[in-house]
Amino acid sequence: MGCGGEEMKTENMEYKVFNYVNGQRVENKGKTEYRVFNPAFGKQIASVFDTGAEDVNKAVDYAYDAFLKWSKIPITDRIKYLFRLENLMRENADELAKMVTIEHGKTFKEAQGEVLRAIENVEAACSSTYNIMGKNNKNISAGIDEELIRVPMGVFAAITPFNFPIMVAFWFIPYAIGLGNTIIVKPSEKTPLTMQKTLDLFDKAGFPPGVISVVNGAVDTVNALLNNDKIVGVSFVGSTGAAKYIVSTASAKHKRSQAGASAKNYELVMPDADPEKVVPHLISSFYGNAGERCLAGSVLVTLPENHDKIVNLFKKQAQKLILGYGLDENVTLGPLIRSEHRERVLGYIDSGISEGAKLILDGRTFDAGKYRDGFFLGPSIFDDASTDMKIIREEIFGPVASVIEAKDFDDAIEIINKSQYGNASTIFTNSGTYAERFTEEVQAGNIGVNIGVAAPIAFYPFAGYKNSFFGDLHAQGGPDHVMFFTDSKVIIKRW
């Protein structure tokens, strides 16, 4: 089996979770246990323990020692490791995707898309040889030259979320190491198994020990990383509350930080857009990944001229979604990550009802059949929602859509911009005028025009505004990754 799948399993067919330190799998003997589930069955499949400060510090020391050597390797040679890793990931893509489905619950097709995005980030990181080029000025003064170069900084930490167990980690790993740093990844304690799958690939790609490390755990492990003086920067994706904590703590410790946070994404459908073409994009956006993604559609905005037609067709198509285990080919909607999270989403449905929104599709009535022990919730749709409601103000992170009918285009823009979040927003229209106004006036970092999910390709940064992002330089590719993972050095010469 590819990726060392059998080696990860214990005798009772559960999975074993190791730390990865100095190129070795290390059993973690922390005191606090976190259970890992296959959410489609509601069954525990592994345990994760917090990595304490002492063990985190050892991992950082190894990573720092590795940095001193790795940063001296020519960048053209460092990139060759990424080439090998990219090929290995392609060869093992289906095995990686299968593990994503097992531990997270998304459909296999969705998991394949996630793995492909991770691979694309490795490819994009190979462009570091071009993006890191410096600047030079001759004779800035008589007989004096000046140049600017970008230099690696040290050990970075990446703290990644449960909903994309491999993709988000690879927003950071290839860029950090390609530019000469070393990195320690702290996967979500809810979905650590896909990262375990990649350990064999790191070995096979030949990375020197300590260049890539993995420490498992939750809050205590994060704090140990933040408190270690040898960590020079932190990359994070998660909730807004956690993002604020990460950035403020990192800043106080004189570390760089970038933190993607919560979202509330609006999708505006103009009357000139064809409902038959638009609604499939809406279904994918609102209910893909069971709504557990920061680019998921959350609020559908219509106008009086098209409201009824769009909402009725949206409801009709949502009713066709099939709940179940993501490895079953006919399944189109997987479970939520935990029973506790399902209860949280159910609380939002109760809130929407109590605040006066009209529940026209009730996901609580959907049956997962033989998977009824899983953490399933069918698609829900609220109509007649308003901006003062909790279901509009807050991120739900589940398969719940809310519909607001705007008076006109200007009113729609005002509604969208009232949100405290600014991750993404989309317009469906055939009008270039409306599309251009939308892209200019909407306060969101990722804008879609006739695109259901405004997900940037790997060599563009993953933008975000307001309470959806904290820091100065965004994740993923583009110029931001070079600026974040390197520092400037200015050299002034006289001969």
Residues that are catalytic: 294
Report DSSP state, residue 435: H
Tokens of 437: 């106004």
Order of strands across the sheet that contains 265-269: 358-361, 380-383, 400-405, 297-302, 265-269, 424-428, 446-449
Task: Spell out the residues 6+ positions from residue 19 whose beta carbon is closer than 8 angstroms to its own.
Answer: 25, 26, 27, 28, 51, 55, 59, 213, 214, 215, 216
Short-list 180, 80, 155, CA closest to 122: 80
Short-list 167, 193, 197, CA closest to 3: 197
Helix (H, G, I), strand (E, B) or coil at 321: coil
Distance between CA atoms of residues 226 and 238, nearest Å:
16
Task: Spell out the residues 6+ positions from residue 61 whose beta carbon is closer than 8 angstroms to its own.
Answer: 230
User: Which ranges of 385-478 does DSSP label H, i.e. alpha helix?
Assistant: 390-393, 409-417, 432-441
Q: CA 237: distance to chain centroid?
A: 6
Report DSSP state, residue 319: T
Determine which helix (DSSP H) or strand (DSSP E) holds 403, and give its type and residue range.
strand 400-405
Pairing between strand 446-449 and 256-260?
unpaired
User: Which ranges of 365-447 does DSSP label H, i.e. alpha helix?
Assistant: 390-393, 409-417, 432-441
Sheet strands (E) in 79-217: 135-141, 144-152, 155-159, 182-186, 212-214
The answer to whether the CB of 314 falls within 8 A of the CB of 284 is no
Short-list 418, 427, 433, 430, CA closest to 446: 427
Distance between CA atoms of residues 336 and 123, nearest Å:
31
